[in-house]
Copies of this chain bind each other. A is one copy, B any other.
Amino acid sequence: MSILVVGSVAFDTLKTPFGERQKILGGAATYFSLSASYFTKVRVVAVVGEDFTADNEDVMKKRGVDTRGIQHAKGKTFHWTGEYAENLNEAKTLNTELNVFETFQPSIPPEYNNSDFLFLANIDPVLQTRVRDAMQKVQLVGGDTMNYWISGHRQQLEEMLKRVDVLLINDGEARMLAGDSSLPRAAGKVLQMGPRALVTKHGEYGATIFFRDGEFAGGHHPFRAPAMPLDEVQDPTGAGDSFAGGFMGYLASQGEVNRRVLKHAMFYGSVMGSFAVERFGTERLQSLTREEIDERFTIFRELTHLD
């Protein structure tokens, strides 16, 4: 089944303990699309500027991503500059040039109207709400947000949360959104705001999905997927969006979304996140095979399963 993602396509200038890169392809929608492309048909709605080349777009096209929804605007593409310290856990933003992204108005091509799944990457919740309301026929909506919207655009965010089936955020963001330092309690409060399930990401420690009571067949205990304690992390940028791409992509590849499928999706999300961080930018996500993905899935299973 097909999945539509709306979000940022960007250039990233970044520095990690392993090196630095200037204006490499990045953005939430880019990482998401590439990651999800290993599971299902992906369509992307985003905006880029005049510095965005055909080669840049080809990175997505080569993975079969439908890029007809990428709008080309006058001006420059969104450009993020950041840096990671030794522990790689947190990015320090040095500069954010929104450029054409500042006035982004998502426009959904008619041929995308039959999309089965929708992912609202981290953009203004007003735009997320508008897109979601325009896509009434989708089976399931995933969404992301960040502390900027949580603290400064609360009301708009609450409207968006009512329209999302699965919210994927960092555990710190979940605590902030709920105003509760206990993650299980915070999760309970976030699930009262709308989402039927909440995925909280713990960086190098994996991610936990919490279910609203009565939602999704097969129980309501939370479920935790590990992250990878095996390989070198070169560049953590895009880990969360790659997780979301693997998670949503796998869901879209299955007929029914139940608890069992959601648990497997958590594992595929972690697997894709673990690949993304092995190389700078989207490099690793451009050249994977489904065999490599399933091999790592097996390693993740061994990492957590008793028998």
Contacts and interface: CB of A to CB of B under 8 A. Distances in A.
Interface of A: 17, 86-88, 181-184, 187, 202, 204-206, 208, 210, 219, 221-224, 226, 229-233, 260, 263-264, 267, 299, 301-307
Contacts of A304: 223-224, 226, 304-305
Contacts of A264: 306
A243 to B, nearest CB: 16
Contact of A221 (B231, B299, B307): B299
Given A205-B205, A205-B206, A226-B224, A182 B303 contact: no
A164 to B, nearest CB: 21
A266 B183 CA distance: 22
Contacts of A306: 260, 263-264, 267, 301, 305
A221 B230 CA distance: 9
Nearest to A204: B183
Contact of A229 (B222, B231, B233): B222
Contacts of A222: 229-230, 303
